[in-house]
Structure 1
Amino acid sequence: GPISDWTGRKTSLIGGNLVNFVGTLLLAYARNFGVMFLGRFIMGLGAGIAFMGPELYASEISPPEVRGLTSTWGELFINVGILVGYVSGWALGARWRTMVALGAIIPAVSVVLQLLIPESPRWLLQKGKEQEARSALRKVAAYSRSQEQEQVDEIAMVLEAERANDRPALKELFFPEKALVHAMVVGWGIAVFQQANGSEAVVYYTPTVLTAVGIPGGNVLYGVTALVGLCKALFVAVALLSMDRTGRLPLLIISAGGVTLGLGMLAIAFTLDPMVPMLAAGGLCCFMAFFSI
């Protein structure tokens, strides 16, 4: 977004992680609701700054032949993080402050590592720093001189095309060109239904749902919750490895069908008398797996 365009991809990544680090510590050591709310708010700001950064950076530094794969790895690691959260809940039990505080390790390590990476070549060329852009290209891939020149020419051509068709962002959003309307409707529609199907509620309230359907607390509850998280992470990997071969649309259709099946299983599990815990757990696993595709 505007922050990464202004400060650079690397700086926005570091800044987002620093903000996240501060918010996580505030949340972990909060002694009242006000401080807890402030910590969560700051974490949200940090996540918002850094959320798109890794994928944007990866797409701008990767060679063309692996660009699609590397730019989508962020989604895989988001789900690995969710799984780690479930497992840490299992391991730490009621010690929630410890679990939250451990989350500060990730942004801290990220900042240290991000200090070592080069700035995005595309951003450097956008700012007229060609020699620095060439140096960054040499650091991220073993380009020959001819390949390096090809990358510089490609980036320069894209930037020139963007300048030639430059329109204010708000005007592009509210008064798009006709050629973009269909793509925007499809993109927004997918994004809306991706949230409207209850995915966030399933992620955040998996233990609550499992408890409500009759699964006992303690290690059994944490174990089933971790299994749900494992299904989510594994199927993200399946999607990443297969999307270039199968195409996006078939995976999207399969995902929609599987999500519907999972929600149906979950609804039936709550409707039956007595409720069926394993059917609910299966429904959650099915939902998480196919949503991740």
Structure 2
Amino acid sequence: MQINRLFEIVYLLLEKGSVTAAALAEHFEVSVRTIYRDIDLLSGAGIPVYCNRGRGGGVSLLPDFVLDKSLLSEREQDEILFALQSIAATHAGGEEVLGRVNTLFRRQGADWIEVDFSHWGWDWGSDEGEKRKFNLLKEAILGRWKLHFTYYSASGEKSERTAAPLKLLFRGGGWYLRAWCETRGAMRTFKICRIDEVSLTQERFEAALFNAAPETQARQNPECEGWHPPLMITLRFVPQMAYQVYDTFCHDSIQTEEDGSLTVRIHVPDDDWIYGMLLQYGEHVRVLDPPQVRKELLDRARKIISFYEENE
């Protein structure tokens, strides 16, 4: 459309300074005469575009010209740049868009975010695979394509899912996919690292139909599959574990005692995850409450000891 071509001509002139009419004609696959007509239209609309003839000439804008951005405050421009930087961190095409908007605003956004999907400090596989998965999920959300994937629940169940993806969430140090799960017939929140063999289907969906689904269902099932009612537990960590405690738990749930130990009070699902997490701390944590968690932890520790003794 002509209006799109006119805008892009202005953008190209802002970016490059001067472009020949022949180069513009080739870029837009139109005649040079059409480009000159476009220049006349821009000039008539008040855009200070002019032509220099001869060697080194071309179509240019007055040096001080900037597109009218009066509808956006500097703060709003920064917010747009920050959002584009977060996109560029995970999607190659974002860099081009970011560059164009930087040119449009005549300013450079702060280098404030970097997203790295590799496992920190460990060679656990290619982080490129995680980036591809992230970009595929993004493509499905923006394009309204249904997804098919394998999912491993918190209870260890493996299942095949078809879902309408609605948004990506970053919560509690991990990435999640919010989606309407056709397999379960309900809204679900999937942990992305547990999603495998993901692919786009050839079926589109209408997001508005699912966005109206009640949020209470998602809150009742934060990890969705294998979900258990929350349990309040009280933990006491030795002082040497402070760095891991602050890495793992919300600071509001942590209390430092006079001897330097740390007391943590949290609500957690009563499932395998919490016991696995507690066992990894070994002798550096004690469960103060409730008694049934202490008993279950002791039973699991005894099973581990028995397993290794039998295999010696």
Shorter-chain TM-score tier: under 0.3
Q: Which has the higher contact order (CA 8 A, sep 6+)?
A: 1
State TM-score, norm by structure 1.
0.28
Which of 1 and 2 has greater Rg? 2
State TM-score, norm by structure 2.
0.26
